[in-house]
Amino acid sequence: MPRAMLATFLVMGGGATPALAKDETLCRAGFVCASYPEGVLRAMTDAGLTAKLGVDRQGDPSIEGEGAGYKFDVFFYGCENKKQCDSLQFQVSFSASPELDTEFANKWNVSKRFLQAGIRENGVLAFSYDLTTVGGVSADNFDDVLVWWQVMLDEVGNFFDANRPKDEKPADAPAADPVVTPTAS
């Protein structure tokens, strides 16, 4: 079916009506696209994550999620007029504390490839993973991203346990409590 006919079919109620991506292609069936936040949300809940669609401080879509014992956010980037976003950022943040500094973040970064840690100006430690979705990410690949994200969240907890200053919490105390701290998109 030609693209123009497919778009007319979808708009007239012939199926879901995802937003158009910047490359002007529809988010195809079986794919996940940042241009279609509801599809990202559905893929996350289908994978067993708790997720709720909302908006960030700039009015762009965002998702509050929970998995592997952590609360986290998924931010939508590259948006045009709060729509047609082209990428996602998964992010978990931790309250500022003196031991969570750039040295702590860099210790993580030298041993991890995709999930990167950074300290914001306000001292909050954030771990983030970025994913472009222009043209769509297959459902299988996105499922793998979600599994990987949860594995890395577990690794964050292990990293806290292994790198906690000796005079901080006892060994049986839980890792640092995550807080949801949205960043500017």
Rg (CA), the chain: 18
On the question of pLDDT at 136 being above 50, the answer is yes
On the question of pLDDT at 145 being above 90, the answer is yes
Q: What is the pLDDT of residue 90?
A: 98
Average pLDDT (43-65) is 96
Indicate the SS3 state at residue 57. Answer: coil
Cβ atoms of 64 and 80 within 8 Å: the answer is no
> Could you give the CA distance from residue 112 to residue 78 in angstroms, rounded to a whole number?
25
Comparing 150 with 1, the larger pLDDT belongs to 150
> Could you give the CA distance from residue 163 to residue 157 in angstroms, rounded to a whole number?
10
Share of the chain above pLDDT 70, in %: 75
Comparing 5 with 149, the larger pLDDT belongs to 149
Q: Name 73's bridge partners.
A: 64, 91
pLDDT band with cut points at 50, 70 and 90 for residue 11: very low
Q: What is the pLDDT of residue 22?
A: 55
Q: What is the pLDDT of residue 183?
A: 40
> Is the whole model's pTM more than 0.85, yes or no?
no
Q: What is the pLDDT of residue 112?
A: 93
Q: Which of 150, 137, 135 is nearest to 40 (CA)?
A: 137
On the question of pLDDT at 106 being above 50, the answer is yes
> Could you give the CA distance from residue 8 to residue 6 in angstroms, rounded to a whole number?
5
Query: What are the strands, taking DSSP E only, across the chain?
Result: 31-32, 50-55, 61-67, 70-77, 87-94, 116-119, 125-132, 137-138, 178-179
